[in-house]
């Protein structure tokens, strides 16, 4: 009997949802599949700390509950990919919202924290404020880790499309040093200071960096999440 089927014993939609995607690692698997189908080893790569046995269990459970689907590729490839079903895809906005909520108590990355290109792509989707993008048309290319990780964001009148890879002729190239992008997004670092301190290098009009921080933003947490409570 592979599946745990630990239940909460409640007749409640939230409890049911947590029985489906509430297990440890489950939502991270869903997140990784949001950007497209992936192989078993791809998932292992973007989830470095997941034990293989757990990944196997999660994939089976998510498949049984109709969140993901396993698809066998042609015999030439001799492989299997996992992809979200339509039902699973409808977690998209929940995952993004929860990611934004969590980003508000995110502190600076530890040296060995994993940071994949998928995370970078999703962070832009997560923090995009469409109400600030009405009538805006601009293309950004981002270069993380000294150009080792490149992605781009196409802002097109209230919508955004983010993908991995370079861009032929971007309006602006942004190259954050270390966690500078995160500080830029959460408002801890102003665009001006980012440039003058050298924490962010750009190609293009500095005004477009200011626009960037309005288009992509993590609102501050209402209370200090590190607050010490006096008992």
Partner DNA sequence: CTGGATCCCTCACGATACTG
Partner DNA sequence: CAGTATCGTGAGGGATCCAG
**Residue 33 beta carbon to DNA: minimum distance, rounded to whole angstroms:** 13
Question: Which stretch in 52-60, 89-97, 107-115, 153-161 sits in contact with DNA by CB under 7 A?
Answer: 52-60
Residue 27 engages DNA in binding (rule: CB under 7 A): no
Site for DNA, residues 100 to 129, rule: CB under 7 A: none
CB environment 4-22: b (16+ within 10 A), e (fewer): eeeeeeeeeeeeeebbbbe
Q: Which is nearer to DNA, 46 or 127 (CB)?
A: 46
CA–CA gap between residue 171 and residue 142 (Å, rounded)? 11
Residue 199 engages a copy of itself in binding (rule: CB under 8 A): no
Collect contacts of 22-25 with beta carbons under 8 A, ≥24 apart.
Answer: 23/58, 23/61, 24/54, 25/50, 25/54, 25/55, 25/58
Residue 148 engages a copy of itself in binding (rule: CB under 8 A): no
Q: Which is nearer to a copy of itself, 53 or 229 (CB)?
A: 229
Find the binder of DNA among 18, 57, 154, 167 (CB under 7 A): 57
Question: Which stretch in 22-30, 139-147, 155-163, 188-196 sits in contact with a copy of itself by CB under 8 A?
Answer: 22-30
CA–CA gap between residue 148 and residue 100 (Å, rounded)? 25
In this structure, how many other beta carbons lie within 10 angstroms of the beta carbon of residue 28? 16
Residue 41 engages DNA in binding (rule: CB under 7 A): yes
Q: Which is nearer to DNA, 6 or 110 (CB)?
A: 6
Beta pairing class for 172-176 and 200-203: antiparallel
Q: How far is CA 188 from the centre of its chain?
A: 20
Angle subtended at Cα 86 by Cα 94 and Cα 68, rounded to the nearest 5 degrees: 85
Find the binder of a copy of itself among 2, 13, 135, 165 (CB under 8 A): 13
Residue 54 engages a copy of itself in binding (rule: CB under 8 A): no
User: Are 108 and 138 contacting, i.e. CB atoms less than 8 angstroms apart?
Assistant: no
Site for DNA, residues 67 to 86, rule: CB under 7 A: 70, 79-81
Extract the tokens encoding 150: 């490149």
Question: Which stretch in 117-125, 129-137, 169-177, 195-203 sits in contact with a copy of itself by CB under 8 A?
Answer: 117-125
CA–CA gap between residue 178 and residue 83 (Å, rounded)? 32
Among 173, 177, 179, 178, CA closest to 212: 173
Q: Catalog residues that contact a copy of itself under the rule CB under 8 A.
A: 6, 8-20, 22, 24-25, 27-28, 31, 47-49, 63-66, 69-70, 85-87, 90-91, 93-95, 97-106, 109-110, 112-115, 119, 122-123, 126, 182, 218, 221-227, 229
């Amino acid at each position: 009997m592979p599946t745990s089927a630990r239940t909460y014993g409640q007749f409640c939609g939230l409890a049911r949802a947590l029985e489906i995607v509430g297990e440890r690692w489950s939502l991270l698997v869903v997140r990784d599949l949001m950007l497209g189908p992936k192989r078993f080893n791809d998932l292992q790569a973007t989830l470095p700390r997941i034990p293989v046995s757990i990944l196997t269990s999660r994939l089976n459970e998510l498949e049984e509950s109709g969140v993901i689907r396993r698809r066998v590729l042609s015999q030439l490839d001799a492989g299997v990919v996992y992809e979200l079903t339509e039902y699973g895809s409808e977690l998209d906005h929940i995952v993004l919202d929860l990611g934004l909520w969590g980003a508000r108590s995110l502190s600076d990355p530890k040296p060995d924290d994993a940071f994949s290109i998928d995370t970078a792509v999703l962070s832009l989707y997560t923090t995009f404020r469409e109400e600030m993008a009405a009538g805006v048309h601009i293309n950004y290319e981002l270069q993380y880790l000294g150009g080792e990780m490149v992605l781009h964001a196409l802002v097109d009148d209230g919508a955004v499309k983010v993908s991995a890879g370079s861009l032929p002729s971007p309006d602006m190239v942004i190259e954050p040093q270390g966690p500078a992008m995160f500080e830029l997004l959460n408002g801890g670092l102003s665009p001006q200071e980012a440039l003058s301190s050298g924490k962010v290098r750009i190609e293009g009009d500095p005004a477009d960096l200011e626009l960037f921080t309005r288009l992509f933003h993590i609102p501050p947490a209402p209370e200090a999440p590190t607050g010490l409570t006096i008992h």
